[in-house]
Amino acid sequence: MERKDRGSQRCPRSGLPPCVAAGMGGCVLIALLVAAAFAAGLVDAIAGGGGIITLPALLAAGLDPHIALATNKGQSVFGSGSAVVQFARGGEVDRSRAIVSFLAALIASLAGARIVLWIDPSLLRPLVLVLLLLAGAAALGRKPEGGRPIGFATRHPLWLAGIIAGVVGGYDGFFGPGTGTFLIVAYAWLFGDRLVRASGNAKVANFASNLGAFALFAAAGVIRWELAIPMGVAQAVGAWAGTKLTIRRGGGLVRAAAFVVSLALAARVAWQLVRG
């Protein structure tokens, strides 16, 4: 019994399970988390959905759910920031919409994170499941690259950019799965962005919403930096590689990846619904 109690304790300094806090096992586990973060950065830069890799990995490492969520945001902000820089350098960010999108997503994500204190995010799961399936269908749809924007996007592009970033950024702060994919689909279908450009514009809002949650979690002292920093470096490298790959391979890669990510996220949400 005493052995079992010790196994469930946390390291008093870090709050991590003993296998992470010390020893060769901890080094191996951190190496696995770093590898997961690299893969997540690569996928997320292309089509969003990197959290489907890193969050389960952190939970599997034995972190408490709220610590895992905070640490996941702490490391993912490195990846989304790296992707923004690379997409901007490649000319795949609409600078006229970027500031509005960034501010709207940042403010909304802070509000969404606050709402979590009052409303159970699991109540959104049935709606999110439907939206993810619709996003997957839209990503696979044959809307032409660089198609015509809707009328409102032509007349009031900054208003629409702010609305999209605000709604999805608030959702990211409150719940989160599929944020990057929702943004890509919205920019492609409403603004008529090419898929590569939609991915670049999505990263601006996604970085802002990650930054808002990151700031709240950091202020609360619940991010485990001993994991977030090495994972964040790997995320940044993965995002750099994913961005280069996206710009080189074009919209076909984004379309296929967004479809697969949407289905994977939908499967995860459906499983959570079944488990209750």
- Look at residue 90 and give its three-state secondary structure: coil
pLDDT digits (tens, 9 = 90+) for 179-220: 888 899 899 989 999 889 999 999 999 999 999 988 988 988
Q: Decide if pLDDT at 119 tops 90.
A: no
Give which of 266, 258, 270 is closest to 43, Cα–Cα: 258
Report pLDDT for 9: 44
In the chain, where the domains are located: 17-275
45-60 residues labelled b (16+ CB within 10 A) or e (exposed) = bbbbbbbbbbbebbee
pLDDT digits (tens, 9 = 90+) for 40-73: 999 988 888 888 888 888 888 888 887 888 899 8
Q: State the SS3 of 211-253.
A: HHHHHHHHHHCCCCHHHHHHHHHHHHHHHHHHHHHHHHHCHHH
Report pLDDT for 249: 84
pLDDT band at 22 (very low <50, low <70, confident <90, very high): very low
Neighbours of 268 (CB within 10 A): 19
Whole-model pTM? 0.79
What does the alpha-carbon distance between residue 169 and residue 176 come to, in Å, rounded to a whole number?
Answer: 9
Q: How far is CA 178 from CA 35, 64, 91, 269, in A?
A: 21, 22, 25, 10
Between 255 and 57, the more confident residue is 57
The whole-angstrom distance between residue 19's C-alpha and the CA centroid of its chain comes to 27
Q: State the SS3 of 188-209.
A: HHHCCCCHHHHHHHHHHHHHHH
pLDDT digits (tens, 9 = 90+) for 130-154: 777 776 666 666 554 556 788 888 8
Contacts of 43 (CB under 8 A, 6+ apart): 49, 50, 53, 238, 242, 257, 261
What does the alpha-carbon distance between residue 71 and residue 80 come to, in Å, rounded to a whole number?
Answer: 15
Q: What share of the chain is helix, strand, coil (3-state, %, to 5)?
A: 80, 0, 20
